[in-house]
């Protein structure tokens, strides 16, 4: 039996067949026609009828509309089940942005009937893993998945897998990504000022899309052996981490975590060799918003890594930071640096995570940084889109375009996500100690006024412990990371400040 499946419901499977087949054992006889799939559907009543898993609401969160990144694998399965159980060709209604964290509950077994069409053969173990991971992380990421009776999942696991669900084991808190750190080897890099060990493309979510990865570097002098390093090795928990978030207007595919490498190569050899306290570096990739008109790498609506909308960008960043914290155990002992929209994300990380759909209990799992370094950042989106000022007025339409692209058409949301509108940073970021804002007067893309607005917001807050500094940058907008020399100097200064060495 062949059936036409809406790409907006099941995503464009042919563009992500590797990742999709890893989750759902798709039949090999799939034909693709543009962004529409013709699939030979397989009846697998055992998977659906025997699972006391979900009671689907009238509307299922639409995964092309965004939502929490950790929901992807579960939503993929649930969308398949939803279509099968409801027996409808119409796609689920998309939720507005205010209901990204709508709940799904474990209740009674799903029923199938003669009017229900067959479903894809979803492997039970992957379905169970998705459910368990989502349940275990529900408190941390906004009660996205609520279990009414956890014993149902326990019993389901025992019956079908002969083992118990270890949701209460904190060592397995990250589900299927618990081993992603060890899966990636350390590679020695001798092309930096000092030798470093690099771990590339480490997934920070289960079944990641093409951008949900983080890169890590540790100077060889802070490792136990300069010539070889076990893939499972982790820096000492006392290590000070410097975590970088790239820019690119939430959409540019050519600006990635690798944009941090010129800075690492520019770090003073003498400074690093003389330093006794260990440091480690990381750079985060995150899901991007659509950019179908990019001149060389246009986005495809079938690629979920480039069809993100708020709050997925910030949730990806929070997932990456939590992953590093849970593995390396450094807590809030880190400096968070970001360029352009990466600076926006850096300050959003320091803001209360409840803003992004997490509950009060969840925010304790992710520790905000001690220091934020904002580089040519975007901090006041309403002003940027309405009256950027001076030579930047010519880009007003561009600013509005990428803002709508990332945050939608509700202009109240633009204000809510803008760090410059935070009224009380002492309450929002109680552990914050230092902010260094670097804004260039010759910046060709971002007005200097953006840095001033952020400074005024921070200085005007009620925090007596937060030291705020606005530093003049140099050159054009991207030169600070393209050359890397100024950013390297600023980072070493920030490291010394945090370490109490300056």
The answer to whether 145 and 138 have CB atoms below 8 angstroms apart is yes
C-alpha dist (Å) from residue 130 to 3, 133, 145, 260: 26, 5, 11, 33
DSSP string, 275-293: --S-EEEEEE-------TT
The answer to whether 123 and 25 have CB atoms below 8 angstroms apart is yes
Q: Exposure of 232 by Cβ count < 10 A (0-12 exposed, 13-18 middle, 19+ buried)?
A: exposed
List 338's β-bridge partners, or say none.
Answer: 245, 374
For residues 469-479, one letter each, b for 16 or more C-beta atoms within 10 angstroms of the residue's C-beta and e for the rest, the string is ebbebeeebbb
Residue 455's CB: how many other CB atoms inside 10 A?
19
Structure tokens given for 208: 């990641």
Cα 425 to Cα 419: distance, rounded to the nearest angstrom: 10
Q: Which residue carries 């090999």 as its tokens?
A: 28
Omega prior to 311 cis, within 30 of 0: yes
Structure tokens given for 191: 């092309």
Instruction: Give the end-to-end CA distance of the chain in Å, rounded to a whole number.
Output: 71
Give how far the C-alpha of residue 339 lies from the chain's centroid of Cα atoms, to the nearest Å: 16
Indicate the pairing of strand 240-245 with strand 279-284: parallel
Cα 361 to Cα 419: distance, rounded to the nearest angstrom: 22
The answer to whether 362 and 144 have CB atoms below 8 angstroms apart is no
Cα 306 to Cα 168: distance, rounded to the nearest angstrom: 34
The answer to whether 251 and 289 have CB atoms below 8 angstroms apart is yes
The answer to whether 356 and 395 have CB atoms below 8 angstroms apart is no
Task: Check residue 390 and give left, alpha or beta (phi > 0: left; psi -120 to 50: alpha).
Answer: left
Q: Which residues are marked as active site?
A: 340, 443, 477
**If we measure between CA atoms, which residue out of 136, 28, 25, 144 comes closest to residue 80?**
25
For residues 332-358, one letter each, b for 16 or more C-beta atoms within 10 angstroms of the residue's C-beta and e for the rest, the string is ebbbbbbbbbbbbbbbbbbbbbeebbb
């Amino acid at each position: 039996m062949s059936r036409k499946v809406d790409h907006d419901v099941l995503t464009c499977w042919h563009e992500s067949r590797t990742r999709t087949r890893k989750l759902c054992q798709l039949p090999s006889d799939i034909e693709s026609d543009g962004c529409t799939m013709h699939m030979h559907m397989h009846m697998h009543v055992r998977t659906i009828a025997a699972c006391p898993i979900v009671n689907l609401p009238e509307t299922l969160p639409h995964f092309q509309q965004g939502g929490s990144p950790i929901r992807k694998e579960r939503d993929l399965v649930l969308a398949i089940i939803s279509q099968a159980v409801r027996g409808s060709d119409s796609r689920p209604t998309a939720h507005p942005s205010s209901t990204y964290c709508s709940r799904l509950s474990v209740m009674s077994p799903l029923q199938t009937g003669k009017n229900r069409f067959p479903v894809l053969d979803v492997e039970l173990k992957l379905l169970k893993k998705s459910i368990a991971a989502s349940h275990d992380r529900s408190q941390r990421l906004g009660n996205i998945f609520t279990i009414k009776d956890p014993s149902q999942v326990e019993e389901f696991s025992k019956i079908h897998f002969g083992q118990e669900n270890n949701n209460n084991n904190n060592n397995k808190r990250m589900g299927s990504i618990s081993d992603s750190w060890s899966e990636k080897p350390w590679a020695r890099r001798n092309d930096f000022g000092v030798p470093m060990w690099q771990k590339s493309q480490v997934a920070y979510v289960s079944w990641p899309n093409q951008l949900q990865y983080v890169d890590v570097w540790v100077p060889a002098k802070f490792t136990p052996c300069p010539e070889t390093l076990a893939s499972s090795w982790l820096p000492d928990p006392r290590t000070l981490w410097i975590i970088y978030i790239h820019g690119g207007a939430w959409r540019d595919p050519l600006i990635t975590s690798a944009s941090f490498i010129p800075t690492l190569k520019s770090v003073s050899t003498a400074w690093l060799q003389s330093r006794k306290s260990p440091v480690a570096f990381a750079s985060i990739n995150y899901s991007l918003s659509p950019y179908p008109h990019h001149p060389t790498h246009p986005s495809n609506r079938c690629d979920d890594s480039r069809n993100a909308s708020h709050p997925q960008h910030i949730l990806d960043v929070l997932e990456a930071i939590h992953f590093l914290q849970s593995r390396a155990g450094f807590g809030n002992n880190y400096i968070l640096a970001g360029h352009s929209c990466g600076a926006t994300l850096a300050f959003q990380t320091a803001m209360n995570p409840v803003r992004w759909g997490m509950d009060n209990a969840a925010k304790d799992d992710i520790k905000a940084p001690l220091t934020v370094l904002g580089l040519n950042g975007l901090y006041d989106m309403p002003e940027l889109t309405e009256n950027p000022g001076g030579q930047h007025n010519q880009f007003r339409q561009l600013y509005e375009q990428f803002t709508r692209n990332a945050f939608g058409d509700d202009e109240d949301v633009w204000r809510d996500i803008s760090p410059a509108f935070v009224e009380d940073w002492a309450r929002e970021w109680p552990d914050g100690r230092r902010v260094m804002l670097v804004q260039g007067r010759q910046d060709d893309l971002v007005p200097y006024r953006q840095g001033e607005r952020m400074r005024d917001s921070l200085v005007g807050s009620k925090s007596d412990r937060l030291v705020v500094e606005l530093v003049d940058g140099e050159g054009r907008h991207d030169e600070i990371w393209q050359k890397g020399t100024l950013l390297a100097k600023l980072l070493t200064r920030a490291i010394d400040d945090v370490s109490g060495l300056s």
